[in-house]
Amino acid sequence: MKALVKTAPGPGLSLVDVPEPAVGPGEVKLRVLRTGICGTDLHIDAWDGWSARTIKAPLVLGHEFVGRVVEVGAAVTKVREGDLVSGEGHLVCGTCRNCRAGRRHLCARTIGLGVHTDGAFAEYAVIPEQNAWVHSHPLDLDIAAIFDPFGNAVHTALSFPVLGEDVLVTGAGPIGLMAAAIAKHAGARHVVITDVSEHRLDLARKLGVDVALDVSGAKVADVYPVLAMTEGFDVGMEMSGQPSALREMIANMTNGGKIAMLGLPATEIPVDFAAVVQKMITLKGIYGREMFETWYAMSVLLQGGLDLAPVITHRFHHTEHERAFATARAGNCGKVVLDWES
């Protein structure tokens, strides 16, 4: 089968022939239909310091995907051949304290699909049955392919109640865009999103945010008179990993405000913790999805009319992977999807 592989240490990926994976007990085999390109994939392609420390080549990349089940292993009880499945890319141990308590997203021995073990940038992929989310309602394949980052957005956006609240989202990358759309769909009074990319801010406007603010020339506080706000934001979602964004968010939270942080900083961030204490602000770190409550919420949101179509801006056949990765890296895009059908 064809697969997109990091064949050796160093920059670049290769579309090569590799053996089809065999299905084992408790596993399901998928014919991959669509995959989404993630920032992690870009890091592995570029072979930065994190990749050099983490990735062991050869490795099939990819953890955002949807496929059709073509084979099930012994002991599989619920997933059936023909099911349309998206995959949870965090493979947990099942035996640690958090796993046994039902908090699988907190497993300390998590293995990342497409990072620590072969992933789904291939014609076929094998995953544990417990990591397969079967779609029981009709769903666009491109949307089904990005359930992984969509789950990050849902986990972040619904960490704190947003109904009737004023919400600030810093960072209009694909996950930030989805989080803003979710907050608005869930009943937030005002949703403000910030970035320095006019292209991505325009995507945010298409998703229905109240204000999409270019912070290269404006301050968050500038939106207060526009939205008749006086006391700051109730809920913050930091998606950028930028130090200035977190500091600006803390400065603009109301007393008792709550911040969910998904953006992963590249360096340590100096923070005004006196403001955090004096305003009694809650900071919560977010990583991945709550398995599988978040997945349930994702399906319900889409069935309830949440429209993520504007987030997907580019589609390429998998044989055009170089163009696809270049597009994703350039940043003037939302989600970039690869088609793996013949």
Which stretches of 96-245 are assigned E, i.e. beta strand? 111-112, 124-128, 132-134, 166-170, 190-195, 211-214, 233-238
53 is in an annotated binding site: no
> For residues 209 and 183, what is the distance between their CA atoms, to the nearest angstrom?
9
107 is in an annotated binding site: yes
Other C-beta atoms within 10 Å of 228: how many? 7
333 is in an annotated binding site: no
Q: Minimal CA–CA distance to 131: which of 46, 231, 26? A: 26
The CA-based dihedral angle spanning residues 277, 279, 280, 281, taken in that order and rounded to the nearest 10 degrees: -100
Q: Which of 43, 116, 135, 199 is catalytic?
A: 43
286 is in an annotated binding site: yes
38 is in an annotated binding site: yes
Helix or strand holding residue 7 (H, E):
none
Judge whether 313 counts as a catalytic residue: no
93 is in an annotated binding site: yes
> For residues 268 and 280, what is the distance between their CA atoms, to the nearest angstrom?
22
Judge whether 90 counts as a catalytic residue: no
> For residues 142 and 130, what is the distance between their CA atoms, to the nearest angstrom?
22
Given a contact cutoff of 8 angstroms between Cβ atoms, the answer to whether 127 and 65 are in contact is: no
262 is in an annotated binding site: yes
| Tokens of residue 294, six digits | 């978040």
63 is in an annotated binding site: yes
64 is in an annotated binding site: yes
Q: Minimal CA–CA distance to 317: which of 296, 303, 337? A: 337
Tell me the β-bridge partners of 90. Answer: 112
Tell me the β-bridge partners of 169. Answer: 193, 237
200 is in an annotated binding site: yes
287 is in an annotated binding site: yes
Helix or strand holding residue 186 (H, E):
none
> For residues 37 and 338, what is the distance between their CA atoms, to the nearest angstrom?
8
Helix or strand holding residue 176 (H, E):
helix 174-185
Q: Which of 7, 35, 40, 282 is catalytic?
A: 40
Largest CA distance in the chain: 62
Binding site feature residues: 38, 63-64, 93, 96, 99, 107, 175, 195, 200, 262-264, 286-287
* Residues making up the binding site for NAD(+): 175, 195, 200, 262-264, 286-287
Active site residues: 40, 43
- Binding-site annotation: residue ranges for Zn(2+): 38, 63-64, 93, 96, 99, 107
